[in-house]
């Protein structure tokens, strides 16, 4: 809860830092989502995410770093919820394979979250776009490693959560691509 509060309070300062990046364009919410997303599912997810904090009026443009930061923060929030669920499952009665998969997923999520943290709190706000693609991909690799472990189980409540997390990570990356990375 403290992490979420800190992120909410820090958001205006993170966005302001990115507004000074040279060559970064501004787009309206709908234009950014249309350009960033190749499928209806991702477009709808983008619109839902951005409308939460930004005016959807087509005449209102926002620097795209603000969109990328918000998407990265939302991904991190989703990762935290999945990690909490995995930790809760570990407190219950599990088979050896389930326990091993959930423990490994928790570790993978720590690394995925660190990557998205660097993106949202360091790289984007300070206009450091070199290595940004690699940072997003590093996080996705960890999420997919968890997915691969979950797929070996008969059924897992974490599988659907992991799918949502990967989609949110992909949305964050897609919005960052608007920066020309």
The model's confidence at residue 7, banded by pLDDT at 50, 70 and 90, is: very low
Residue 4 has pLDDT above 80, yes or no: no
Q: Is residue 77 part of a domain?
A: yes
Q: Is residue 7 part of a domain?
A: no
Q: Mapping DSSP to helix (H, G, I), strand (E, B) and coil, where does residue 2 land?
A: helix
Contacts of 125 (CB under 8 A, 6+ apart): 13, 14, 15, 17, 18, 65, 69
Contact between 101 and 153 under an 8 Å Cβ cutoff? The reply is yes
| CATH number of the domain to which 150 belongs | 1.20.140.40
**pLDDT value for 56:** 85
Sign of CA dihedral 35, 122, 137, 114: negative
**pLDDT value for 16:** 45
Task: List pLDDT tens digits, range 73-119.
Answer: 999 999 999 999 999 999 999 999 999 999 999 999 999 999 999 99
Q: Is residue 79 part of a domain?
A: yes
**pLDDT value for 19:** 58
Report the Cα 19 to chain-centroid distance in Å.
20
Q: Is residue 3 part of a domain?
A: no
Q: Mapping DSSP to helix (H, G, I), strand (E, B) and coil, where does residue 57 land?
A: coil
Q: How many domains does the chain have?
A: 1
Instruction: Single out the residue of 56, 51, 55, 49 nearest to residue 71, CA to CA.
Output: 49
Q: Is residue 172 part of a domain?
A: yes
Q: Which domain does 76 fall in, by range?
A: 25-179
Element (H, E) at 167: helix 157-176
Task: List pLDDT tens digits, range 121-158.
Answer: 999 999 999 999 999 999 999 999 999 999 999 889 99
Q: Is residue 168 part of a domain?
A: yes
Q: Is residue 56 part of a domain?
A: yes
Q: Is residue 154 part of a domain?
A: yes
């Amino acid at each position: 809860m403290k992490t979420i509060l800190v992120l909410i309070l820090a958001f205006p300062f993170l966005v302001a830092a990115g507004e000074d990046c040279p060559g970064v364009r501004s787009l309206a919410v709908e234009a950014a989502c249309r350009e960033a997303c190749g499928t209806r599912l991702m477009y709808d997810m983008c619109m839902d995410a951005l409308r939460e904090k930004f005016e959807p009026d087509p005449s209102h443009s926002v620097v795209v770093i603000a969109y990328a930061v918000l998407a990265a923060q939302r991904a991190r929030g989703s990762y935290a919820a999945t990690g909490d669920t995995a930790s809760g499952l570990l407190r219950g009665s599990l088979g050896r394979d389930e326990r091993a998969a959930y423990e490994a997923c928790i570790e993978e999520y720590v690394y995925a979250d660190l990557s998205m943290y660097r993106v949202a709190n360091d790289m984007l706000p300070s206009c450091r776009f070199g290595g940004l693609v690699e940072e997003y991909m590093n996080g996705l690799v960890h999420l997919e490693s968890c997915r691969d472990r979950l797929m070996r189980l008969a059924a897992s409540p974490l599988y659907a959560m992991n799918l949502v997390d990967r989609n949110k990570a992909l949305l964050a990356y897609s919005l960052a691509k608007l920066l020309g990375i």
